[in-house]
Structure formats: structure tokens, C-alpha cells
Chain A
């Protein structure tokens, strides 16, 4: 009983936080300032942005390891950077100058890139399904692009 109530309360807070973030992004003022009890919810698109940056750097490393793949892979890396730039704009965060660090030395084969694209497609698909109307097309295109990337790597 108590646990259920707690979960429900958290869900409500989460939902309210999501709404407040959306409103404040439009209005440009911090609705959260007076009620910052729970840590601010990360934007629902943050995981999509993080993956775009990780994928772009994974492609970069694959190209360094195998320069012959540059023509084939660099357009895909560019797509991810374009996604990241637009997502950062929509979320309202600055794009990090360096991509999130990966464990060094992991081999980025075309097959592993393809797997990463498929996983990233799932994230973007989930984000699209629950996105508010004004983010649906953005996340939908990113999901479709990731699926097309995976196809291009076959």
C-alpha cells in the first residue's frame, strides 16, 4: 500500500516535471526554482542525443582504424552529428565539444556499428512514441535514419 502510493506519487511528480520542463522551455522562465525537491528530470530526448554523439565518435574511430571505410562511413557519422546538433537545440543544452568517452581500444567493426545503430533506433523509436506532438517528427526521422544506417551497413 505504502509502496504503491510512493510509486504513484513519484510518477505524478515525474509527469509534472515533464510538463514543467516543456512549459519553461517555451516561456523561458524557471518554473522549478521554488520547488526543486526532486532532482530535475533529464529531458526525454537526452538519451537520444547521447547515443547520437556516441555513434558519431564510434564511426570516427572506425574510420581511423580503417581509412578505406571513410567514404562509406563518414556520411553516416555526419548524420549523427546533425541529429545531435538539432536535439541539443530542442533540449536547450550546449553540445559537448568532446563526445562522451568510450572504453578505449574497443574495436569498431562494421558489424558492431550496425548493432549500435539498431539499439539506437530502438531508443529513438521509444522516444517518438511518447513524444509530444512538436517532437514527434524530429524523433521519428532520427529513428528512421538509424534504421536506414543499419540497412546501409549490411
Chain B
């Protein structure tokens, strides 16, 4: 379970970093509001994971100071593309937590997977990406 939780933590850290970068390129107020809400959610999930990993005394790799972005974020279009990508990655990381957890921990993972899928759909709609949904959110 710890390996999956550590991977989820890495995905959340990457998402927080990405939102910091892409937020600068979002020009519409509604985009920005959405990005800020998303980032706050990812920070909350990161904090939950840090506590959880500390409780089981697993050593999570320290978050790197910087991340390599998969592509340059130069405008609204590439910013939305990155937002979609980080939510898809977060969904993948949390989906992998489901089989190795039960009870409340699984519910937490499922909430995170569901939330990431919903946010990805929202960003796709904002970016006029069709279809706005995936058949299997989180499936790599």
C-alpha cells in the first residue's frame, strides 16, 4: 500500500506545481477560479497523504524542488492541456490505491479518483476537447 500512496503523493505534488505554472497563463476569471479551487483540493489531498505516510512511518521521497513539465505552457490552450494531463495522472495514481486499501482509506482514494475525473472533464469542456470524458478514468 505504501508504494501506491507514495505514488499518489508524487502525483499530487506534481499537480500542485503544474497549477502554479499554468495559472499564470489562464486569462479568464472563471478558469482562474477553477484552477485555484483545484490546486487547493490537491494541497488538501497531499496533506492527507503526508499524514497517512507518516502514520505508517513510511519514508516518502521528498518532493523535488522543480518538475519537468511535459511541454511548454505558453498560452491558455497549453495551460488547459496541462491541467487535463495532471488530473488524468492524479486519477491514475489514486486508482492504483483502490485495490490495496479497504474501508475508509479506499473511500478516500475513490473520492480522489472521482474528483480528478470530474475536474478533467471540466477542463476538457473549457478547452473544447471532445469527448469531455474518458470511458475508464484512471486506467493507464
Interface on A for B, CB 8 Å cutoff? 71, 75-76, 78-79, 82-83, 121, 125, 128-129, 133-134, 136-137, 140-141, 143-145, 147-149, 151-152
Q: How far is the CB of A125 from chain B (nearest CB, A)?
A: 6
CB within 8 A of B98: which of A78, A137, A148, A151?
A137
CB within 8 A of B135: which of A83, A143, A151?
A83
Contact between chains at A136 and B117 (CB < 8 Å): no
Contact between chains at A140 and B118 (CB < 8 Å): no
| B122 in contact (CB, < 8 A) | yes
Q: Give every chain B residue within 8 A of A129 (Cβ-Cβ).
A: 103, 106-107, 110
Tell me the bound Cα distance from A142 to B121 in angstroms: 14
Given A140-B98, A144-B137, A145-B133, A125 and B110 touching (CB < 8 A)?
Answer: yes
Contact between chains at B135 and A133 (CB < 8 Å): no
Contact between chains at A145 and B134 (CB < 8 Å): yes
Classify the interface of chain B: helix, strand, loop or mixed. Answer: helix
Nearest 8 Cβ contacts at the A-B interface? A75-B131, A144-B117, A136-B98, A144-B137, A148-B121, A79-B135, A133-B99, A152-B132
Q: Give every chain B residue within 8 A of A71 (Cβ-Cβ).
A: 130
Contact between chains at B106 and A144 (CB < 8 Å): no
| B72 in contact (CB, < 8 A) | no
Contact between chains at B136 and A152 (CB < 8 Å): no
Contact between chains at A134 and B113 (CB < 8 Å): no
Given A140-B113, A147-B114, A152 and B99 touching (CB < 8 A)?
Answer: no
